[in-house]
Amino acid sequence: MRDKTAIAGIGETAYTKRGGMAQSEMECACEAILKAVDDAGLKLSDVDGLCAYSGERSVLQEVAQTLGLGDLTFTNLYPGGGNSAAGVVGNAAMAVGTGTAQAVVAYRSICQGQHPRFGQARSGSGVAAANLSGLADGPRAFTQPFGQMSPAQMYAMDAQRHMHVYGTTSEQLGRIALASYANAQRNPRAVMYGRPLTMEAYLAARMIADPYRLYDCCLESDGACAVLVTTTERARDLRRQPVLIAGAAQGMEKGDGPDKMRRPEHLWTSAGMTRVAKDVYARAGITAKDVQVAQFYENFTGQVLMAIEDFGFCGRGEGGAFVASGAIDWPNGRLPINTAGGNLAEAYIHGLSLVLEGVKQMRGTSTSQVKNAEHCLVAAGPTAPPSSALILRRFR
């Protein structure tokens, strides 16, 4: 279904640090959806499908009722957290491409100041909620007694392994954080706008889970965003320049899963996205050489570095040298990344804001616009699989 569907509208609330949002999470979700529909030049009555993350608290049924939507022919939840960012858009595109629905909105609302923090360790904690028994269940029964209680601790082990095997350094991880913060200084919407980061400050920051320091970790934010997907044929006649969905992919590699202790050895130095990368390139009919800008889901810097390798922008183990060379820096790098600031410096809206930035790049409206960009990769992972990815293409 290459180029048969398109993103016709995007919408977002203001983004704040954790606890800074006056509106409820549901109000944020509705605001973002309303803005996406208006951006496309459509009416709420035109929306006949909704996609959201499986952990979304602004649930589909309540959103539809609150907004007074008409009959829905498609509803969908993508399993997981940040791995869902491209997946919800891909599922919306599948619904539109098969004729199941005509206009589908994918959205994410998250107000961490109003609910338990996603990164907070608590007995029995899972993606959606704590186990009411107060006991660690499933794989957590084997990890929490040994002190692995937070995402930072979990993903730090992958980074340590990459450093051990390939000689990756903290300074190289810092280049990813610095690139995101530099881009945020050009984006007035970013939570970290006006707060530039230096390598000295990065290295001096407190350790969270070795090797991850404070600035290796994503923000905790409040806000919401949404995208509207319809057919390319319909989108070409709407208000805004459509952005083509050239390719979408999702999935997980053999042996991967939330229980990292049972992963195959090769996945300890990977973001677990090599299969997704192969599929999304094939479906878009391009290779890594054709991508001019990318938005990588960065819960932590090391996972970005490994995803860069998975998607073929450099060889395995070469990610450290790649980012240190300036390749990810705007405006002159080979592959500017996270050009609005990403999860590290714009806002942590569980990665869906990365899709919105990809749309802005293809429209030519980004605050860190990459000149003559024709393709943008959005890579959503490597939180608990299945991961997902999109190739967005400029409409001509």
Q: Report pLDDT digits (tens) over 68-113.
A: 999 999 999 999 889 999 999 999 999 999 999 999 999 999 998 8
Please give the structure tokens belonging to residue 226. Answer: 């949404």
Between 114 and 259, where is the model more confident?
Answer: 114
Helices 170-184 & 301-310 angle (0-180, nearest 10): 100
pLDDT at residue 129 greater than cutoff 70: no
Whether CATH 1.10.10.10 fits 150-215+248-384: no
Nearest one of 110, 97, 96 to 53, comparing CA atoms: 110
**pLDDT value, residue 131:** 41
Q: Where are the domains of the chain?
A: 1-112+220-246, 150-215+248-384
- Whether 1-112+220-246 and 150-215+248-384 share one fold: the answer is yes
Comparing 10 with 126, the larger pLDDT belongs to 10
Do 294 and 188 touch, CB atoms closer than 8 A? Answer: no
Model confidence band, residue 41 (pLDDT cutoffs 50, 70, 90): very high
Q: Is 342 exposed, middle or buried (0-12, 13-18, 19+ CB in 10 A)?
A: buried
CA dihedral 264, 270, 273, 274 (to 10 degrees): -90
CA distance 202 to 174: 7
Q: Model confidence at 132, in pLDDT bands (50, 70, 90)?
A: very low
- Mean pLDDT across 123-134: 43
**At 353, is the pLDDT very low, low, confident or very high (cuts 50, 70, 90)?**
very high
Distance (Å) of CA 129 to CA 83, 159, 199: 18, 27, 37
Beta strands 49-53; 375-380: pairing state = unpaired
Q: Is the pLDDT of residue 258 over 80?
A: no
Q: Which residues are catalytic?
A: 297, 348
Going by the DSSP 8-state scheme, the letter that residue 378 receives in this structure is E
Q: Are 330 and 346 in contact (CB under 8 A)?
A: no
Q: Would you call 261 exposed, middle or buried from its count of C-beta atoms within 10 A (0-12, 13-18, 19+)?
A: exposed
- pLDDT beyond 50 at 250: yes
Please state, rounded to an integer, the average pLDDT across all residues of the chain. 92
- Tens of pLDDT, residue by residue over 149-199, are 788 888 999 999 999 999 999 999 999 999 999 999 999 999 999 999 999
**Residue whose token pair is 């999935």:** 251
- For the segment(s) 1-112+220-246, the CATH number from 1.10.260.40, 3.40.47.10, 3.40.50.300, 1.20.210.10 is 3.40.47.10
Taking 90 as the threshold, does the pLDDT of residue 116 lie above it? no
